[in-house]
Amino acid sequence: MLMIRSGEQETAAVRYIARDGSLEWTTTVVFSRNGDSWVGLRTARESYSAQLKLPAALKPHVVKTILNNLKGGLDGESYVSDKPVLLGLNDVNMTTRLMNGDADNYLPIVYMSCSFTGDHPVDPAPLARVLAGMAHILVEPDREFSRMLQINVGSRNVYGGRVGVYWPNGERSVYFINDQMPSDGAVRKTLCGDIRTALLNRRSLSRITWSQAEAQIARKAFNTLRAAGSDNIEEYVAAFDSEIAIRESQLGEAEAEIQRLKSQLRTVDGGGGSQKGVRLDTGGEQSYFDGEVTETLRDALIRASENEQDGGRRQHLIQSIVSLMPVSDSMKHRRDVLKNALGQYKSMTRDARKALEDLGFAITDDGKHIKLVYMQDGRYTFILPKTGGDGRGGMNSVSDIAKRVY
């Protein structure tokens, strides 16, 4: 255990080593107070026997102890906590700064967008408990908040139930339930693993490392000798200071170069907006389901290709672009669901209502009629009678709706 106090600066460091068979676990906790206060924790393990794979290090229990007994401090504009932050309309500007890397936070934020039906496919509460002390969990309140945020951050916000991890340096990762992560738990496991790995590979604040605590003890010893008037010690301290300053400067330059290269890489990759070599920028529009933009564009390009001269240059260029775009039947599937729900429409049955709501339609009773609003977007509003006639009316409704939204 190390304890150092020098003026207004205080540092305390503890290192705990435990043996478990052939494994040795080392946990280091460093506290630093110098105006503000930080606690740094590191867990490492190594084996004294040949092992192909070491077990993953668990988050030290001391994190929970600190948050339960001392509470979390302010990191930029967010308090460290084991609970998610439920955002309100007054938090749009703060969220903008966090996403753009302008909030002076050290820990990443995990932004949980709401789906088009208003819920959150990934449960924020257990995610906040697992990532306590490692990230801030922000929960989007509704689609209105999403649209306001979209304007402020240039469409960098995740939406439609996706989860985004935003780092202070501007990097972003996106997670959502899909074939590779088919459940809430799978998304949570992958996301938490990625954040933990990133934090382990990230350089810690120098003031909350074991080596810095040892350096402060050495510095205090040097200062004591200096006060005693030793000329030789004074020269040694000067040389020591110069070497440290040079190394810190070189390290800072190296980190700046790494960030510059990462920024260039994000530009080359299209900032997450590319699909198999085709970069897409949807401007002010958001996708209302996975693949909507690419599938719409692919269909439009195929139709355009059919209208070009066979074997012509324009047709070849369009076909080349189409060949790079992923093939999906999401649009057709949605049309089929819509047809099954309304094809023989005579009244709004429970099955029809559920099918429409699953497609993203909000259904309200509007007097003599039923009003449908697609994805809470008033531009796509449809009126159905409470009671229909023959099947032709239902098919006409299917055709009208499909033409406008699919």
Which pLDDT does position 230 carry in this prediction? 63
Which pLDDT does position 127 carry in this prediction? 95
Q: What is the pLDDT of residues 244-283, one digit of tens each?
A: 765 676 676 677 667 666 655 655 444 444 344 555 666 6
Which pLDDT does position 270 carry in this prediction? 45
- 2-201 belongs to which homologous superfamily? Glutaredoxin (3.40.30.10)
Which pLDDT does position 274 carry in this prediction? 38
CB 394 within 8 A of CB 403: no
* Topology annotation, domain 330-405: Metal Transport, Frataxin; Chain A (3.30.920)
Which pLDDT does position 278 carry in this prediction? 52
Which pLDDT does position 391 carry in this prediction? 56
Q: Report how far residue 163's alpha carbon sits from residue 109's, in angstroms, rounded to the nearest whole number.
A: 10
Which pLDDT does position 96 carry in this prediction? 95
Would you say how long the chain is, in residues? 406
Domain boundaries, the chain: 2-201, 278-323, 330-405
The helix/strand/coil state of 214 is: helix
Which pLDDT does position 52 carry in this prediction? 57
Residue closest to 116 by CA, chosen among 334, 275, 369, 300: 334
Question: Structure tokens of 93?
Answer: 């500007």
Which pLDDT does position 117 carry in this prediction? 80
Q: What is the pLDDT of residues 287-314, one digit of tens each?
A: 788 778 889 999 999 999 999 999 999 9
Write the burial class of residue 351 (CB in 10 Å: 0-12 exposed, 13-18 middle, 19+ buried).
Answer: exposed
Q: Report how far residue 246's alpha carbon sits from residue 264's, in angstroms, rounded to the nearest whole number.
A: 27
Which pLDDT does position 276 carry in this prediction? 45
pTM of the full structure = 0.66
> What parts of the chain have a pLDDT lower than 70?
50-53, 57, 229-240, 242-243, 245-247, 249-250, 252-253, 256-257, 259-284, 388-393
Which pLDDT does position 281 carry in this prediction? 63
Question: Structure tokens of 132?
Answer: 């306590």
Which pLDDT does position 275 carry in this prediction? 40
